[in-house]
Amino acid sequence: MLNPRTCYIAFFLILLTAALQVHAFQNREKQGDSLTRLADRLPRDSASYRARLSYYQSAALLFKAAGNPDKMIRARLSVASVYLDQGALNLSEKELLQVLQLDIKTAAARNRQSITFLLAVVSRYKGNFNKGLQYAMESIRNMRISGDTTSADFYYGEMGLLYGGLGQTGKSIEWYEKALDAREKKHSANYIIYRTTNLLAAQLLKRNKKKALSLVFRIKKKNPPISLQDTAILAQVMGNLYNATKNYRLAEQSYLEMIRCYQKSNSADESMSIAHQDIGKFYLERQDYQKARYHLTAALNVTAGTSSLARVRDLNYLLYEVDKALGDYRQAIAHFSLHKTLNDSIFNTTKSRQIEELQIQYETENKDRDLRLQKQNILLLRQQAELQSAELKQTKAAKNITLGGVFLLSVILILLYSRYRIKQRGNNQLQLQQKVIHEKNTSLEHLLKEKEWLLKEVHHRVKNNLQMVMSLLSTQLSYLNDEAALLAIKDSQNRIQAISLIHKKLYQSNNIAVIDLPVYIQELIEYLKDSFSSQHLIFDTDIAPLKLDAAQAVSLGLILNEAITNAIKYAFPGNRPGKISIHLTQLKKENYVLKIADNGTGLPPDFDSWQSGTLGMSLMQGLSEDLNGSFQISSESGTTILIAFVQEEISTYSPISYE
């Protein structure tokens, strides 16, 4: 027998060992907390980059050793953020994907929305807007599930940035408004509210200048600037507003104030890059090419990875315009080539990532199906085991059963087993057939997606080619002195732009077969207003909701271009004020009437539209015939053009003919 004293000593040693282990675990966790606090206090700049990274990585290892996966995941999230700050996008994405897998394995999943949010930011910087959108939506879904809305404004803001990058202005405005509302409610810092206001105002200027002005003055009154950074962002917003309203003197003053304040506040690379881009674009529009080149080059020369791929693409295109205007064609070609390469890279990356998602989804579905089959087989075997157990109990209870009964029981068991084997073979054959059908369906889905992307790419390249033609025509204008030739080329540019807008809408839309006519007409009007500097005219639009086949939209767009251009050029001599009305009315189910009217000088008394001999009139008449519609022109208190047509059935591939 063991001595009681020996037992007490052994028990004490066990308790002491356990206490030391608990103390060691607690010690590691405290050390991890200290390193995390130390890293959080360091400035987020290049000089402190390595120290912050080392502290967070060491903290993650300590939390892992202490058995605290939640803190370990948060420390690794900080590591990914440091990589992101320094533009190491691939390292940041790799770290985040590993952390996401760890978080999935934990039941709590407290950090899921933060992980997917950072993945959305990384994807946007890499130019993969579709992937970023999926991650951002996942963050919002996880936020709603967890009920933790602390960072809701960041998720909404990221959605606004992604939709803005995809060219979907309406949705971008919607998410920016949610982000601004959330930040005002939680009384965020001024510079954060100003930064959101700047992004929202930039989108609103594309749709509603009055609403943008009202928003900026409301925010400025409610939150007066305090710091240099506040003043810089506010000056940037005001510069954009003054530029949009053509008050160029005040716009330049605001932009220069913006640059001074950003430089004094030692702002991050991305903020300075956007600031230089705004003022560089302003000088380019003012044809001050040397200043434009200086600021656009400064915007481009930031730390690699801290500017999104889309911004680098846009900066190269602006520098191409500057170099072309200055006659530096070698540099212009280099910038345009890089712009084109980056633009194609963004779309190719998006395409490949979508295919990768489909493959991952397919593999996941296969694994889920295999798991369900395994559960079914386990359940079947369990039922068989229970059946055999019942039969054994019956055999033990019936000791007096004769050999004939035993033989009969054996036959029954053999029949049951045979039936089971037949059923199992049938199930296996059915599974193989289902697998073949699923693989065929998946292959068909891939082909359909591939075809859709190819069609979008075609429309995208056609739009780019048309823009190139317009650029060539603009270049040609500088070599012409004949007024008639100049007018003819400008008219041709407007016609090409009307067609280019169609292709732009097609490759940006989820449905590549149709054009949303109200949106298209509004953009065409905005283009013509800016092209002819027609601020003295009022445009009254009332467009019925209509989606047209692309071929019909081209014909209708060219008619609108000719009619509006003629009204701007000839109906109001001497830039006198006037009004141009564009109304699209639905008469019955598929019958529509397009009316373009002005209150200008009207047509000459002896004017005959069929004998006028002008290209524009012939073009409108010919295009009306292409629409299988009617063309009427009259002059009562101005000029009125009526086009009656029938909406055609929308084709699958939306072919466009320019014959």
- Structural domain for 582, as ranges: 463-646
CA distance 503 to 462: 7
CA distance 172 to 526: 20
pLDDT at 6: 57
- Asked, for residue 593, whether it belongs to a domain, the answer is yes
- Asked, for residue 513, whether it belongs to a domain, the answer is yes
- Asked, for residue 455, whether it belongs to a domain, the answer is no
- Asked, for residue 472, whether it belongs to a domain, the answer is yes
pLDDT at 384: 72
pLDDT at 582: 92
pLDDT at 125: 83
pLDDT at 651: 60
Q: How many domains does the chain have?
A: 1
Question: What are phi and psi for residue 37, nearest 5 degrees?
Answer: -65, -40
Taking alpha carbons only, the member of 622, 617, 624, 616 closest to residue 645 is 624
User: What CATH number does residue 472 fall under?
Assistant: 3.30.565.10
Show the DSSP H helices in 545-611 as ranges.
Answer: 550-570
pLDDT mean values, one per 10 residues, the chain (659 residues): 52 46 63 86 78 87 87 87 84 88 75 88 83 85 85 90 83 91 88 86 86 87 86 87 89 90 76 86 90 88 67 85 87 84 68 45 49 68 74 72 74 81 82 79 69 60 67 71 72 70 62 78 84 82 85 84 85 86 86 90 75 74 84 86 84 51
- Asked, for residue 242, whether it belongs to a domain, the answer is no
Tokens of 145: 């599930």
- Asked, for residue 588, whether it belongs to a domain, the answer is yes
pLDDT at 596: 92
pTM: 0.49
Quickly count: other Cβ atoms within 10 Å of residue 656's Cβ.
18
Show the DSSP H helices in 327-402 as ranges.
Answer: 329-397
Question: Over the range 41-76, which residues count as b (16 or more CB within 10 Å of their CB) and which as e?
Answer: eeeeeeeebeebbebbbbbbebbbebebbebbbbbb
- Asked, for residue 478, whether it belongs to a domain, the answer is yes
The pLDDT tens digits for 19-53 are: 444 444 558 888 888 888 888 888 877 777 788 88
- Asked, for residue 33, whether it belongs to a domain, the answer is no
pLDDT at 640: 92
CA distance 583 to 240: 32
